[in-house]
Structure 1
Amino acid sequence: MSSSDRQRIERVKGSRRAKLTPAPGTGAEPIPGDETTNAAPRAGDAASAPSGPNDERLKRDVPPHY
C-alpha cells in the first residue's frame, strides 16, 4: 500500500480541527440514500416490540427540564 492510496490530513488555517481527504474509491459527499430511508422497520426495532403495561405512560412522560 503506497502513501497515495491513503487518506491525508489537511490542516485548516484558523481552526483547531484538521480535515481528512476522502478515502480512495469514495466521494466527499454522503450518499443521499444514507440520510433517510422509507424502508419498513426491521423485526428487531423497538417500535415492533410487544408493549408492556407502562409503555404508553413512558412515551408521554416529559423530563422536568423541558
Structure 2
Amino acid sequence: MSDEPREKRQRVVRVPGARRAQLTRVEGTTSEPHVRPERKAGTEGDHGPNDDRMLREVPPHY
C-alpha cells in the first residue's frame, strides 16, 4: 500500500426495496444541482436563421 492520500469519490449504495441506488456525499460538495444560464432563441449572436420558425412549429402528435 502506498502512503499517498486516496482520491475522494462517491460510492454507490444499494437501498433495499428501492429501484435506484444512491450516491454517497463527498466532502466539499453540495447537493444542489448545477444550473446553466437560460438561453433564449433570438438573442444577439446566439441564434440561427431557422430559430423563429422552429419555435412556432408544433409537433404532429400535439
TM-score normalised by length of structure 1: 0.50
Q: Percent identity?
A: 43
Structure 2 CA distance for aligned equivalents of residues 10 and 65 of structure 1: 40
Equivalent residue letter for 2:58:
V
Query: Relative to 1, partners in 2 of residues 1:57 and 1:15: Cα closer, same or farther, differing over 3 Å?
Result: same
Give ranges in structure 1 of 5+ residues lacking alignment.
Answer: none
Aligned residues: 54
Q: 1:24 to 1:37 in 2, by over 3 A?
A: same
Q: Is the 8 A contact 1:6 1:24 kept in 2?
A: no
Choose which of 15, 30, 34 in structure 2 pairs with 1:12. 15
> Counterpart amino acid of 1:8?
R
Greater helix share, structure number: 1
CA deviations 1:17-51 (Å, max 9, x no partner) are 21110123213x216xx43647xx6xxx86433x5
Residues 10, 55 of structure 1: alpha-carbon distance in 2 compared, 3 angstrom cutoff: closer
Secondary structure of the structure 2 residue equivalent to 1:35: coil
Letter of the structure 1 residue corresponding to residue 60 of structure 2 = P
Flag the 1:56–1:16 CA change in 2: closer, same or farther, 3 A: closer
User: What residue ranges of structure 2 are gaps of 5+ in the alignment?
Assistant: 1-5
Structure 1 runs of 4+ aligned residues shifted over 4 Å read none
Question: Who is 1:63 aligned against?
Answer: 59
